[in-house]
Structure 1
Amino acid sequence: MKNIKELKLAHLAMCVAGALVLPVHANVSEQVQDVDSEASGKLERVEVIGSRQAYQGNFSPLETPQSELNIDSEALQNAGAVDLTQALDLSASVARQNNFGGLWNSFAVRGFVGDENLPSNYLVNGFNAGRGFGGTRDLSGIESVEVLKGPRAALFGRGEPGGTINLVTKRANFNEKAEVSLSVGSFNTARADLDINTAISDDVAIRLVGFYEDAESFRDTVETTKQGLSPSILWNISDESQLTYELEYSHQEIPFDRGVIAIDKELGVIPESRFLGEPGYGPIETDVLGHQIEFQQDINDNWSALVGFNYRDTSLEGLASENGFSAPDEDGNFGRFSRYRDYNAIYQVFRAELSGNFETGALSHKLIVGIDADKFENDQFALRDRSTDQSINIFAPVYGQYPESSLDLASNIDRIETQKSAGLYIQDQISLTEKLDIRIGARFDDYQQKLVNRGSESVSEYAKSKISPQLGVVYKASDALSFYVAYGENFRPLSGATDENDLAPNQSESAEIGVKFALNDGALSGTIAIFDVKQSNIATFDADFNATAIGEAASKGVELDLTGELTDTFSLRISYSYVDAETKNDYTDAISYNFIPAGSDLLNVAKNQLSLQMVQQAEFAGRELDLIAGLVYVGERSGGFGDPSFKLPEYTTVRIASSYEITNSLTLRAEVNNLFDEEHYTNSYSDTWVQPGTPRSFRISATYSF
């Protein structure tokens, strides 16, 4: 195994070395580049286009009447984050959720999670992209992660009530860069990253970002392989026009792992490393192929137009043995079942937007108006075997007792659901005075759902229209302090809705008040927010066990985000949240079939959560040395739907790292995660589906820049 990994890394290093012999062009700035005409023989060229994101407009943090947290590339690098889950640990407003055996990202913002049968949705440069089956999101091609809290349906459309996650990608630009990073770590983990950005003319730049990772795990027999590429092209058609194209490709092989089980509600009876599946069934394979293209036109100094299209094709396929829901017998024999899945999804999104500034009398306006449309095809086929005894002894597991050939797989799921939506949105932020702004916005959505059950040869359809309003007020007390209040509504169509069951969309209302501040001459900024979210029309069952939407839940709490520099050499990030999230009425959960009494805590949502990161810059032998420390605290939380007695214990993990600049081109980094080797459990779905956290681990990496 080790020799194979060394050969793979050597092969990748040779490919990287070959790529780096490409000609490197002179540095060109995105904004203004002066070229010495005598030395280069070229005319001076001025570039004025700057990349913009749809739905966001041009607002400073202090004039935005909602809480937002930007996790930039430096913060991600300091945290050693290589996937989206690790990045979101830097926001205390985000809680880990059931991740489908490690096959996708699932999270709750301010206590609320989306459809448990699908990954949590996230945006990529403003495009819906998270829904689908492409595996966990790697951060190789990601520049920053934005946690946009509160409802955003007035602009983004259907979404989750707690907030939205937006990923900003590493796009081609005119700043020359060539960088390769190699790392090795605990559990025979080996990884390589590549990032090459270059201008091939005065008007065209290209960028190639890629990664390869091969790793074992602290989980017995669990091994993963991941690889991906994210090339992009930027074409400055003119001083006012810009075209950007990005491709996303990834392939992952990940064993399906439902985690460990609790014995009589007690965790730790079996070790965190104990894998209860069948290694011989092999990994689940996931694939992504996506295309994103955007055209931006600056009309004049005040107005800009943006048109974009996104197409993302994802798939998940493989056989797995899964933990059952019954407790093991007195000898430790634990029941399992097997399931084969072949899931495919296609997501298409189109948008066109106009944004700009204008005045009416003494009032100044910042306007965003646009249209968009999306189509999501969710094709699921699954076979399941529950007819034979597939038990395993949790104290002395013996693998390979139930070969694939002995399974009696019967039809489980065979359907395709298509959701279409078209929307029109408008937002106007009006400056009534130099200090007082109001924000008014609304969105109209018309959506349709069609469910084709191939097993029963039935077709069901559903259609609905929805208006989502928003209102915000910002008072800028000074250049360093502002106060805001905000109200918004949100909705999310429920999967499986038909004209017969009339599953009305999941609806939410959210209100928050907050204060934003900038200290230390703007070097340190933060937000304190108080929020109250009410959610209704949660999918459930009525007394006759018919599908309905009568579930209600609520979340309220306080958040603090503080980030920036205390001194020229010491930076700090603090994120804290207190979230009280619970059900508001009795109902039967539509996924677990458990009875949920009113007042039950929402799954995996801790009342108290804290993320802390500190960086001290120093010098050693005349070179930069960064000393990094981080901490994540997660309080006690509910561990099972409809089972208030089962709790996941609180935990605190500490990480330390050091980064040292050996030369102008070479940087070494060493890090230790979970420094005190704390036994912890990050999320669960029931007492037989509990995900243990990684014990103490090490990683060493080298980054070479050209």
Structure 2
Amino acid sequence: MMDRRGLAGLLLATTLLHAPYAQAQQKSEVLAPIEVQGEADGKSGFDGYKAKKDASATKTDQPLEKTPQAVSVVGSQQIEDQAARSVVEATRYAPGIRSETFGNDTRNDWFLIRGFSSQVNSYFMDGLQLQSSDSFATWKVNPYLLDRIDILRGPSSALYGASNPGGLINLVSKRPTFQNRGETAVGVNEFGNVWSGLDVEGVNKDGTLAYRFIATGNYGGTQVDYTDNNQFAIMPELTWKPDEDTTLTVYANISKLKTRGQNFLPYEGTVTSAPWGKISRDLFTSEPSVDKFERSQQMIGYEFEHRFDNDVTVRQNLRYGHLDVDFRNVYGQGWVGNDPASHLLDRANFLSKPDLGLFTVDNQVEWKTATGPIDHTLLVGLDYKRFDLHDESGFEGAPPLDVLDPVYGDVSPVTSR
């Protein structure tokens, strides 16, 4: 039987044991929620400059590390860090591709992939071909509008139909990301060419409708006298996503470019010295009153995707594009009499005015299934393309130009023949 002294000690020990617990209860508080972010499930994902997924090589969401093709990806972050103002500038460091085939050229984006010319039928945007011609009816896309540039090397590019065996380039546009955000950018280069960019997007309250508006342009000179590089581009987009299985994106892409032709200069007097030295790098060898290159380019289209269940997905991508070019140029053809000592540059007067219309549609059915531990992805597609080109051109000789003392004004525009 416990005496009073023992009972008092037991009560004291019990109180001391419960005191920390009671004190902890009194000091308890509700912690702020912790937000865990992960990579979105999609066909595009980057770890810095490294792409994790690529849709160009297989037209599916196959991880890049499991894609048995030679693929290089230039993402928007790399484009921004390089301050690239053209696709050819953005792909300078990609393996297997030679950008800027004709040097610094403000008119066109021209490439060689594994030695094959690729701007005519190996140039794609959002999986649809940007078919052009061997003339100057070529497409030019501002890289500020792009989320990424995929370069697929080798004959596996035949997945897209008629394209060169060297490979292809697929430009992937920025699309609405169902968030409210915006950004502006501005810059200037060493030649005083000023550029700016605007990228704004938003989403409605129930998260089913998103928009994105991107605009960019640049204005100012280049390294060559009399030659400016003025252009602008806008791309409005609207995406409707009523549920997780259906997505429809409608977009337009409109751009305008005003510049001049490219100087063609002889080897002796540029790479090596002529008897009187070298030609000035800023020399304009055409005619200021004649020379111009203007391109007007428009695209409109949509991208539709619906997943019937977890196994079957249908897609349709459709786009119509139109461009017209007005190109007048007086360009060098070598030294008069093949004698560099004369410092007289032989010239020709040239005209090209192509008008191009391009309709493309790509239909796909994708089925994912499994047999035991092996997963299968079956992709079946049918595409259609209509390409219309009308071109008028002219050519005639032009008076020579003294590269040491240039005098302009003796040339009239050539007419189409």
TM-score, normalising length: structure 1: 0.48
Match of 2:167 in 1: 163
Match of 1:127 in 2: 128
5 Å-filtered alignment, 1:328-339, equals: 330-339=341-350
Match of 2:308 in 1: 299
Q: Return closer, same or farther for 1:166/1:121 CA change in 2, 3 Å cut-off.
A: same
Pick aligned residue for 1:207 from 212, 225, 250 = 212
The reply to whether residue 190 of structure 1 matches residue 190 of structure 2 is: no
Determine if contact 1:254/1:283 at 8 Å carries over to the other structure.
yes
Determine if contact 1:259/1:275 at 8 Å carries over to the other structure.
no
After superposition, what is the alpha-carbon deviation per residue over 1:118-162, rounded to whole angstroms, capped at 9, x for unaligned?
646311111112526355321121111111111234411111111
Match of 1:276 in 2: 285
5 Å-filtered alignment, 1:252-263, equals: 252-263=257-268
Q: Return closer, same or farther for 1:396/1:136 CA change in 2, 3 Å cut-off.
A: farther
After superposition, what is the alpha-carbon deviation per residue over 1:88-107, rounded to whole angstroms, capped at 9, x for unaligned?
10203111323796421111
Q: Return closer, same or farther for 1:171/1:212 CA change in 2, 3 Å cut-off.
A: same
Determine if contact 1:142/1:168 at 8 Å carries over to the other structure.
yes
Match of 2:294 in 1: 285
Q: Return closer, same or farther for 1:220/1:403 CA change in 2, 3 Å cut-off.
A: same
The reply to whether residue 316 of structure 1 matches residue 325 of structure 2 is: yes
Pick aligned residue for 1:376 from 371, 374, 387 = 387
Pick aligned residue for 2:148 from 125, 130, 144 = 144
Determine if contact 1:30/1:49 at 8 Å carries over to the other structure.
no
Q: Return closer, same or farther for 1:328/1:170 CA change in 2, 3 Å cut-off.
A: farther
Match of 1:26 in 2: none
Q: Which amino acid aligns with 1:72?
A: G
After superposition, what is the alpha-carbon deviation per residue over 1:650-678, rounded to whole angstroms, capped at 9, x for unaligned?
xxxxxxxxxxxxxxxxxxxxxxxxxxxxx
Q: Which SS does the other structure have where 2:88 is aligned?
A: helix
Q: Return closer, same or farther for 1:105/1:398 CA change in 2, 3 Å cut-off.
A: same
More strand by share: 1
Q: Return closer, same or farther for 1:410/1:167 CA change in 2, 3 Å cut-off.
A: closer
Distance 1:378 1:207 in 2: 32
The reply to whether residue 240 of structure 1 matches residue 245 of structure 2 is: yes
Match of 1:416 in 2: none
Q: Could you tell me how far 1:314 is from its partner in structure 2?
A: 1.0
Q: Which SS does the other structure have where 2:77 is aligned?
A: helix
Determine if contact 2:392/2:416 at 8 Å carries over to the other structure.
no
Distance 1:369 1:179 in 2: 39
Identity %: 17
Q: Return closer, same or farther for 1:218/1:256 CA change in 2, 3 Å cut-off.
A: same
Q: Which has the higher relative contact order, 1 or 2, with Cα contacts under 8 A spaced 6 or more apart?
A: 1
After superposition, what is the alpha-carbon deviation per residue over 1:572-595, rounded to whole angstroms, capped at 9, x for unaligned?
xxxxxxxxxxxxxxxxxxxxxxxx
Distance 1:392 1:233 in 2: 52
Q: Could you tell me how far 1:210 is from its partner in structure 2?
A: 0.6
Q: Which runs of 5+ in 2 are unaligned?
A: 1-36, 45-53
After superposition, what is the alpha-carbon deviation per residue over 1:598-629, rounded to whole angstroms, capped at 9, x for unaligned?
xxxxxxxxxxxxxxxxxxxxxxxxxxxxxxxx
5 Å-filtered alignment, 1:534-545, equals: none
Match of 1:491 in 2: none
Match of 2:113 in 1: 109
Q: Which SS does the other structure have where 1:280 is aligned?
A: coil
Pick aligned residue for 1:92 from 95, 103, 110 = 95
Match of 1:367 in 2: 378
After superposition, what is the alpha-carbon deviation per residue over 1:496-549, rounded to whole angstroms, capped at 9, x for unaligned?
xxxxxxxxxxxxxxxxxxxxxxxxxxxxxxxxxxxxxxxxxxxxxxxxxxxxxx
Q: Which amino acid aligns with 1:238?
A: D
Determine if contact 1:347/1:374 at 8 Å carries over to the other structure.
yes
The reply to whether residue 398 of structure 1 matches residue 407 of structure 2 is: yes
Match of 2:49 in 1: none
Q: Could you tell me how far 1:287 is from its partner in structure 2?
A: 0.9
Q: Which amino acid aligns with 2:115?
A: G
More helix by share: 2
The reply to whether residue 77 of structure 1 matches residue 97 of structure 2 is: no
Match of 1:65 in 2: 68
Q: Which runs of 5+ in 1 are unaligned?
A: 1-28, 33-47, 412-706
After superposition, what is the alpha-carbon deviation per residue over 1:14-37, rounded to whole angstroms, capped at 9, x for unaligned?
xxxxxxxxxxxxxxx9999xxxxx
Distance 1:49 1:101 in 2: 35
Q: Which amino acid aligns with 1:242?
A: T
Q: Return closer, same or farther for 1:200/1:49 CA change in 2, 3 Å cut-off.
A: farther
TM-score, normalising length: structure 2: 0.79
The reply to whether residue 227 of structure 1 matches residue 246 of structure 2 is: no
Q: Return closer, same or farther for 1:53/1:310 CA change in 2, 3 Å cut-off.
A: farther
